[in-house]
């Protein structure tokens, strides 16, 4: 007999609307507080959004990211990002890395003295290293990146809401959009609260959170539509509870296994990806919560049509039999 792991019983009857005013009110309060935190405390912008200088290095010796970081951190302040560049066209004796240095507050780029000190520090650990290019990114370009990131998140949310509208009804699209905005705002709030570094990788995490959250929401919505066809006279609130309970095992298993991998990366992944992984971990938790307690509450308040049967679904038999049924 095959062994099946069951984190949730097959038949659950949890009333998710028992404390709907508390859960939805808590989400509203946390969303407002998150916006206040972003406006008051601000975001801890990384190099991508604050500006800085990028130094390209080439060497005949393999790139030791740890040694590079230790050498650079002794002479440069602010955020430091070191990335090894891989290209099939590179020969065996050509090793390339990109070193990004964050500009200090009030400066448009890293000072020439700091760049000279960084190059000297790297040459001490690798005498064969050269610096083919040094490029600076000013605050104007960084500001454009911020707006492009905001537009990317808004367009993704709008496109998903439009898809939900076509796939279901406009009430479902509104519920999905509200839950997605809820997830993104709470993620921004937690980053502002703890002043976690916010760079382009976090934007990628936000877009991933949006996709993950809507996937779980669509599963619940799809089951709800099936139940609307099956139980035409059952109250909408009861059908929503039934739909969430029927998909609860799938939701817990999916979120649980995803969190296991994310927590492992959060603990052992290192500082380079820690911000991205933290955003993903927080997003999975918040996204699962919003699918159950935010999206369906909005749909319940807006109401949905009860007859999802196709126009051709008529009783079998003649027209007299249909009239007499």
Q: Which domains does the chain have, with CATH numbers?
A: 20-42+142-302 (1.20.1640.10), 52-137 (3.30.70.380)
Find out whether 315 and 325 touch, Cβ atoms under 8 Å: yes
- Whole-angstrom Cα distance, residue 108 to residue 50? 9
Query: Which segment of 5-19, 70-84, 176-190, 208-222 scores lowest on mean pLDDT?
Result: 5-19
Kindly give the pairing relationship between strand 95-102 and strand 52-59: antiparallel
Whose CA is closest to 218, among 183, 249, 247?
247
Asked if pLDDT for residue 318 goes beyond 60, the answer is no
pLDDT at 141: 57
Q: What is the mean pLDDT of residues 188-217?
A: 88
pLDDT at position 30: 94
pLDDT band at 1 (very low <50, low <70, confident <90, very high): very low
Q: What is the mean pLDDT of the chain?
A: 82
Task: Name the band, by pLDDT with cuts 50, 70 and 90, for residue 6.
Answer: low
- Which range, of 45-49, 287-291, 311-315, averages the lowest pLDDT? 311-315
pLDDT digits (tens, 9 = 90+) for 220-244: 888 888 888 888 888 888 888 888 8
Higher pLDDT, 291 or 306: 291
Question: Is 228 buried (19+), middle (13-18) or exposed (0-12) by CB count in 10 A?
Answer: buried
Structure tokens at 21: 């005013």
Query: 286: which 2 tokens?
Result: 């918040």
pLDDT at 321 over 50: no
Higher pLDDT, 317 or 257: 257
pTM for the model? 0.76
Residue 6 to residue 252: CA distance in whole angstroms: 10
Q: What is the pLDDT of residues 97-152, one digit of tens each?
A: 888 888 776 676 788 888 889 999 999 998 889 888 887 776 555 667 778 888 88
Burial bucket for residue 277 (CB in 10 Å: 0-12, 13-18, 19+):
buried
């Amino acid at each position: 007999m095959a062994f099946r792991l069951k984190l949730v019983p097959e038949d659950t009857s949890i009333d998710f609307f028992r404390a709907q005013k508390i859960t939805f009110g808590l989400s509203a309060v946390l969303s407002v507080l998150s916006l206040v935190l972003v406006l008051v405390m601000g975001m801890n912008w990384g190099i991508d959004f604050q500006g800085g200088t990028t130094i390209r290095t080439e060497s005949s010796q393999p790139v030791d990211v740890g040694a590079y970081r230790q050498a650079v951190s002794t002479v440069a302040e602010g955020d430091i990002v070191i990335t090894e560049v891989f290209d099939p066209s590179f020969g065996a004796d050509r090793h390339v890395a990109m070193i990004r240095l964050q500009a200090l507050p009030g400066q448009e780029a890293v000072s020439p003295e700091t760049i000279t000190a960084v190059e000297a520090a790297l040459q001490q650990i690798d005498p064969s290293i050269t610096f083919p290019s040094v490029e600076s990114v000013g605050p104007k370009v960084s500001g454009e990146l911020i707006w492009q990131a905001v537009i990317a998140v808004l367009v993704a949310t709008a496109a998903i809401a439009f898809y939900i509208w076509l796939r279901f009804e406009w009430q479902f699209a509104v519920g999905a959009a509200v839950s997605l905005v809820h997830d993104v705002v709470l993620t921004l709030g937690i980053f502002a609260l703890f002043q976690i570094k916010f760079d382009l990788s976090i934007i990628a995490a936000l877009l991933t959170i949006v996709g993950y959250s809507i996937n779980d929401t669509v599963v619940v919505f799809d089951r709800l539509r099936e139940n609307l066809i099956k139980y035409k006279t059952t109250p909408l609130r009861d059908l929503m509870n039934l739909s969430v309970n029927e998909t609860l095992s799938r939701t817990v298993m999916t979120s649980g296994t995803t969190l296991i991998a994310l927590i492992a990366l959060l603990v052992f992944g290192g500082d380079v990806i820690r911000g991205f992984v933290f955003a993903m971990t927080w997003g999975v938790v918040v996204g699962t919560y919003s699918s159950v307690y935010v999206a369906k509450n909005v749909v319940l308040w807006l109401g949905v049509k009860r007859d999802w049967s196709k126009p051709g679904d008529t009783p079998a038999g003649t027209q007299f039999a249909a009239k007499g049924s």
